[in-house]
C-alpha cells in the first residue's frame, strides 16, 4: 500500500484502540474515514487528527445501520478509493453465565460484531479490489478461550474469525487481503464495562499496540493475507496460529 494517497475506514474510532489506530495511520499520511456512535467524542477525535494535519471525514452512527455503512464507503470513494477497512467497533453485551443470559439480546450483539463487518466488507470490496487493499477484523482471546461469563461476546468473535478466514479465501483472487488481530487486554472503557467497580489499572493502555500497527500498515497486504496476529506479543512475535 502506498502511503501518500492511502485511504482507510476505521470503525469504533473515537476512543481506545480505534483512536490509537487512527493516530498511527495519520502519522503515515493516510486519509481517514472514521466512525463511532458517540458523535461528540468522534468530533473531538476528528479535530485532533485534523489539527495534526490529517485529512479526516467523520461518519457518526451505529455501524449496524446500513445507511451508516453506505456513508462510510461513499466517503472513502470521494477521497479517491480505499486501501484499508478496519472493523474495530464492537458490542460487549452482558458478562454473565450462559444459563443466565437473555437470549433475545444475542441478535443485537451479533449484529454489531459479525453482521455489520460482513455487510461493510461486501460494500467495500469493489473499492478495496481496485487498490489491492486490506481488511483488518478485530477479534479477542474470548473467541478461543471459552471464559465463563464471556460466552455471548466470545461466540460472536469466534464467528467473526471464521467469517474473516472464509472471506479471505473468497476474495484473494480479487486482490483483497484480510487479517485477524487480537489486541489483548487493555485499559479501555469497554474493558472496564466488563469489570464494573474493579481496578483495571494493571492493564496496559491501548498505545501499547502502536508498534504492531506501525509494522502491519507497512506490509504489503498480500504478504500478511490470512494471518492472525496478537498485537501485544513480545519481541515483535505477533503472528499467532489461525
Q: What is the 3-state secondary structure (H, E, C) of the chain?
A: CCCCCCEEEECCCCCHHHHHHHHHHHHCCCEEEEEECCHHHHHHHHHHHHHCCCCEEEEECCCCCHHHHHHHHHHHHHHCCCCEEEECCCCCCCCCCHHHCCHHHHHHHHHHHHHHHHHHHHHHHHHHHHCCCEEEEECCCHHHHCCCCCHHHHHHHHHHHHHHHHHHHHHHHHCCEEEEEECCCCCCHHHHHHCCCCCCCCCCCHHHHHHHHHHHCCCCHHHHCCCEEECCCHHHCCEECC
Give the per-residue pLDDT at 210: 93
pLDDT exceeds cutoff 80 at 197: no
Give the per-residue pLDDT at 1: 42
> How confident is the model over 79-99, as a mean pLDDT?
93
Given 110, 150, 153, 229, the catalytic residue: 153
Give the per-residue pLDDT at 240: 73
Give the per-residue pLDDT at 188: 56
Residues 107-165: tens digit of each pLDDT: 999 999 999 999 999 999 999 999 999 999 999 988 888 888 888 999 999 999 999 99
pLDDT exceeds cutoff 80 at 235: no
Q: How many angstroms separate the CA atoms of 62 and 66, rounded?
A: 9
Of 151 and 84, the structure prediction assigns the larger pLDDT to 84
- Top-level class of domain 7-240: alpha beta
Find out whether 86 and 9 touch, Cβ atoms under 8 Å. yes
pLDDT exceeds cutoff 80 at 242: no
Which neighbouring-strand residues pair with 36?
60
Give the per-residue pLDDT at 166: 95
pLDDT exceeds cutoff 90 at 222: yes
Tell me the average pLDDT of the chain.
89
Of 147 and 68, the structure prediction assigns the larger pLDDT to 68
pLDDT exceeds cutoff 90 at 206: no
**Catalytic site includes residue 147:** no
Q: How many angstroms separate the CA atoms of 129 and 174, rounded?
A: 6
Give the per-residue pLDDT at 20: 95
> How confident is the model over 52-64, as a mean pLDDT?
96
Q: Which of 135, 113, 114 is nearest to 124 (CA)?
A: 135
Give the per-residue pLDDT at 203: 60
pLDDT exceeds cutoff 90 at 215: yes
pLDDT exceeds cutoff 80 at 24: yes
Give the per-residue pLDDT at 65: 97
Give me the percent of the chain exceeding a pLDDT of 90.
73
Amino acid at each position: 500500500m502506498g502511503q501518500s494517497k492511502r485511504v482507510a475506514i476505521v470503525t469504533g474510532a473515537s476512543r481506545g484502540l480505534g483512536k490509537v489506530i487512527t493516530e498511527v495511520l495519520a502519522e503515515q499520511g493516510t486519509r481517514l474515514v472514521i466512525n463511532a456512535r458517540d458523535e461528540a467524542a468522534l468530533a473531538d477525535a476528528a479535530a485532533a487528527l485534523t489539527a495534526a494535519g490529517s485529512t479526516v471525514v467523520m461518519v457518526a452512527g451505529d455501524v449496524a445501520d446500513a445507511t451508516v455503512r453506505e456513508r462510510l464507503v461513499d466517503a472513502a470513494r470521494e477521497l479517491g478509493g480505499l486501501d484499508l477497512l478496519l472493523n474495530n467497533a464492537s458490542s460487549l453485551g452482558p458478562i454473565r453465565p450462559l444459563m443466565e443470559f437473555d437470549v433475545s439480546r444475542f441478535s443485537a450483539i451479533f449484529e454489531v460484531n459479525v453482521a455489520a463487518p460482513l455487510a461493510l466488507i461486501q460494500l467495500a470490496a469493489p473499492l478495496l479490489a481496485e487498490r489491492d487493499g486490506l481488511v483488518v477484523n478485530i477479534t479477542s482471546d474470548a473467541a478461543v478461550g471459552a471464559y465463563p461469563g464471556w460466552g455471548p461476546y466470545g461466540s460472536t468473535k469466534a464467528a467473526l474469525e471464521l467469517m474473516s478466514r472464509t472471506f479471505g479465501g473468497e476474495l484473494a483472487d480479487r486482490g483483497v487481503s484480510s487479517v485477524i488481530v487480537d489486541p489483548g487486554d487493555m485499559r479501555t472503557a469497554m474493558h472496564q464495562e466488563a469489570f464494573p467497580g474493579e481496578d483495571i489499572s494493571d492493564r496496559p493502555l491501548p498505545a501499547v499496540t502502536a508498534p504492531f500497527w506501525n509494522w502491519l500498515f507497512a506490509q504489503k497486504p498480500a504478504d500478511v493475507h490470512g494471518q492472525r496476529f496478537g498485537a501485544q506479543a513480545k519481541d515483535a512475535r505477533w503472528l499467532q496460529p489461525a
